[in-house]
A = this chain, B = another copy of it.
Amino acid sequence: MKPKEIPVCGEAAVRAVFDKNPDAVRRLFFDYPTSRRSAKLSSRMARARRVYRVVEPGELAKIAGTVHHGGIVAIVEQQPLREATAADALAWTGAAAGGRRAGPALLVLDGVGNAHNLGAIARTAAFFGVPRLVIADDARQALPGEAAHRVAEGGLEHVELFITRGLPEFLRGIAPGYEVIGTAVAGARPLAEVSRAAAVSRRPVALVLGNEEHGLSPGAAAACSRLVTIPGSGRVESLNVSVAAGVLIWELLAGG
């Protein structure tokens, strides 16, 4: 079966693909101004004997499938999503474990359905140096396509992405090696308290974020060792999931 190809748009995302996985770039298109800034990428395509060329703005939008292409579109062979088991995740903690640094931390998505949110969360994870993102094998869960890559601004190239079958089993399986912290829109322990508790633990944090509308699935929530709520004023019901992810990654994984 021919691997699926997806358009990756925008200079940051395209440069990230060239840095991390240049072989996956099958074709490269840009508008004239962007081509002037992209001589090195063009040389690499020329050496690999692959198509690269300047196209008219209208054609670029057609190739990208969006007008939000930022002047450059790489057609990239989509990497198959690797599967991760709890044993894999325990191995990742390795010698680097111990503390709340982002290094060995893990981010887990349980049905985040909007591709823009997936991309925004990947950008934030990459920014803070979270190395791995595990998504649930759930029909609601967004997969990394064009929109997610564009919003991630290269973040999806800097975070290793895995899928896991049976999220509750996965979370129970990693509990010996991680503080498994799930999120709840209301009613769980407040963030500042959970942050202090996580800071004294010697285990890295696995942070589990749920679906935009429905939060964590009941099975996943039950498999977490702690549940956390970001306390709010009650004036609006909730934060956007990608903003909540930013606050939680900063506070629990990065250095808040």
Interface residues of A (CB under 8 A from B): 12, 16, 102, 120, 123-124, 126-129, 152-155, 158, 191-192, 230-233, 235-240, 242-247, 250-251, 255-256
Give me 6 other A-B pairs in contact (C-beta within 8 A), A123-B239, A191-B250 excluded.
A12-B237, A102-B233, A129-B233, A152-B236, A154-B235, A246-B247
Q: Establish whether residues B127 and A232, one from each chain, have CB atoms under 8 Å apart when the complex forms.
A: yes
Number of copies: 2
Task: Tell whether A233 pairs with B126 under 8 Å between CB atoms, given A239-B246, A256-B256.
Answer: yes
Q: Establish whether residues A251 and B246, one from each chain, have CB atoms under 8 Å apart when the complex forms.
A: no
- What is the minimal beta-carbon distance from A92 to any residue of chain B, in angstroms? 17
Interface of A is mostly: helix
Q: Establish whether residues A124 and B239, one from each chain, have CB atoms under 8 Å apart when the complex forms.
A: yes
CA distance A158 to B235 in the complex (A): 7
Q: Establish whether residues A192 and B246, one from each chain, have CB atoms under 8 Å apart when the complex forms.
A: no
B residues in contact with A16, CB < 8 Å: 236
Q: Establish whether residues A256 and B246, one from each chain, have CB atoms under 8 Å apart when the complex forms.
A: no
Q: Which of B152, B230, B246, B256 contacts A244 (CB 8 A)?
A: B246
Instruction: List 9 A-B pairs, minimum CB-CB distance, nearest first.
Output: A129-B233, A243-B246, A158-B235, A127-B232, A126-B235, A247-B250, A126-B236, A246-B246, A155-B236
B residues in contact with A255, CB < 8 Å: 191-192, 231
CA distance A244 to B243 in the complex (A): 8
